[in-house]
Amino acid sequence: MTVPSAVRHPTDEDLLARVLVPYKDHCKYLRSAAVVAERAGQAAAHCEFAIPESCYIDDTGHLNSVEVNICYNQMMYYLVAKSVKEGLLAGFESWTLDDFWKHQLPDILIARFASNFRRPVNPREFSGEMEFRSVTRRTPGGGKPFLHAETAYCYWDADSGRCDGEAVLAFVNVP
């Protein structure tokens, strides 16, 4: 997903901690996230995760769909926050970090989420990445404007485990 001329932003530990504040301590799976500005207005996150114990079910021995979604949310929230802080992602140029904190939970909606499980992924230690493929401002039928974002993600582990998918986001009540 990256290009040789990409600008890499290493994990911002303070920002990561703040992004994960809404999560229960035992559900903070995102350990690190480097953000790469690939092209003007586009960014991707390259992440490391660990799920020591599932927050809702006995051990399945593999990453499951609920955990995929939680990890996606954490990765996406960090990518948006870091992009806002560094001015990386098209569509968010006018946002401040205060705007992000205000909108993080109530106004960032997953409109569609799809996962493809290729090979079981070890949830104890795995990697992931996501990218924003497009962000467009829309105003349906004269209603309130929102940002429509198309994203793609994948996870993998050291034993060739793999899961990938796509998600469509709606950022409502935008500044």
Residue 104 above 80 pLDDT? Answer: yes
| 32 vs 45: CA distance, rounded Å | 10
Domains of the chain, each with CATH number or no CATH:
7-171 (3.10.129.30)
pLDDT tens, 59-95?
Answer: 788 899 999 999 999 999 999 999 999 999 999 999 9
Q: How large is the average pLDDT for residues 124-130?
A: 97
Q: How far is CA 155 from CA 12, 45, 79, 164, in A?
A: 21, 12, 16, 6
| 34 vs 93: CA distance, rounded Å | 20
Residue 15 above 80 pLDDT? Answer: yes
pLDDT at 58: 80
Q: CA quadruple 22, 171, 127, 10: dihedral positive or negative? A: negative
pLDDT tens, 17-31?
Answer: 999 999 999 999 999
pLDDT at 136: 94
Q: What is the pTM of this model?
A: 0.93
115 sits in which H/E element: strand 108-119
pLDDT at 5: 65
| 54 vs 49: CA distance, rounded Å | 13
Q: In 3-state terms, what secondary structure has residue 127?
A: strand
99 sits in which H/E element: helix 97-103
pLDDT at 1: 46
pLDDT tens, 33-57?
Answer: 999 987 777 899 999 999 998 888 8
Q: In 3-state terms, what secondary structure has residue 132?
A: strand
Contact 48, 29 (CB under 8 A): no
